[in-house]
Amino acid sequence: MRIATWNVNSITARLPRLLAWLESSGTDVLCLQETKCTLEQFPAEALREAGYEAAVNATGRWNGVALLSRVGLADVVTGLPGGPEYEGVQEPRAVSATCGPVRLWSVYVPNGREVTHDHYAYKLRWLEALRKSVAPDAAGALPFAVLGDFNIAPADEDVWDRTLFEGATHVTPAERAALAALREEGLSDVVPRPLKYDHPYTYWDYRQLGFPKNKGMRIDLVYGNAPFTSAVKDSYVDREERKGKGASDHAPVVVDLDL
């Protein structure tokens, strides 16, 4: 079984590439982030024609997440139970479902913007709500993973130049502590296994030749429980999908399971 996560940075802009990638990669379940569309605008019919059901949490121009599955879609939960609001709204940043033999969450963690910004405090509250929400699934017997754009680099080696991030979000001790608390619910970082690249970054800024110069960050993560991680046979970042005209600024992260 092949599972992946991908921040597509607008599903409308990326739809032709998305459909081509689903066909060429043979992915069974794909977690999407930053769909940037309303529920009505989501291309469910085009994906259905490609063989995928969709569970979607999308309300407008920003944010938005989805789960695409060709192995079934059941027990869907839209949103983060007990999640905090930002400016009076619970943003569309989480969706979960059982896809065949596995239970998955697709999440888009708030960016945080700046350490002194209200959005940073919101990010930490959101991560704590995520920890509480996934705990029952993490402790269950079913293979389970939470995948997505966490907007946090777990370690200094997960950014291309740590000195440039001094005092900035994505690398602060509080954010990394929140990730550690999530892992303490019985989850492990799936991707640091034998990889095809020395520095498996997942995001490169469009500006200043970020991708050609490999000025990247590893912020798209896959955290699985013991039944999930024990079934992992391979994991990699599909850097090829970051290349060329019309690419997202993130690359897909792919995990192969033997279930």
The DSSP annotation for 180-245 comes to HHHHTTT-EESS-SS-SSSS---EE-TGGGTTTTT-EE--EEEEE-HHHHTTEEEEEE-GGGGSST
Q: How far apart are CA 217 and CA 58, in angstroms?
A: 26
CA-CA-CA-CA torsion sign (124, 250, 146, 104)? positive
Whether residue 9 is annotated as binding a ligand: the answer is no
- Structural domains of the chain, count: 1
The residue annotated as part of the active site, out of 28, 149, 220, 238, is 149
Window from 31-35, 130-134, 233-237 with minimum mean pLDDT? 233-237
Domain housing 51: 2-257
Residues 127-165 have pLDDT tens digits of: 999 999 999 999 999 999 999 999 999 999 999 999 999
pLDDT confidence bin for 195, thresholds 50/70/90: low
- From 84, 171, 87, select the one nearest 133 (Cα to Cα): 84
CA-CA-CA-CA torsion sign (222, 226, 231, 234)? positive
- From 204, 231, 234, select the one nearest 217 (Cα to Cα): 204
pLDDT value of position 191: 83
Whether residue 175 is annotated as binding a ligand: the answer is no
Residues 67-111 have pLDDT tens digits of: 999 999 999 999 999 999 999 999 999 999 999 999 999 999 999
- Rounded percentage of the chain residues whose pLDDT exceeds 70: 97
CB-count burial class (<10 Å; 0-12, 13-18, 19+) for 194: exposed
Please say if the pLDDT value at position 198 is more than 70: no
Q: What is the chain's length?
A: 259
Whether residue 250 is annotated as binding a ligand: the answer is yes
The residue annotated as part of the active site, out of 28, 52, 108, 201, is 108
CATH no. for residue 183?
Answer: 3.60.10.10
pLDDT value of position 199: 66
pTM for the predicted model, two decimal places? 0.96
- Quick check: is 108 catalytic? yes
Whether residue 149 is annotated as binding a ligand: the answer is yes
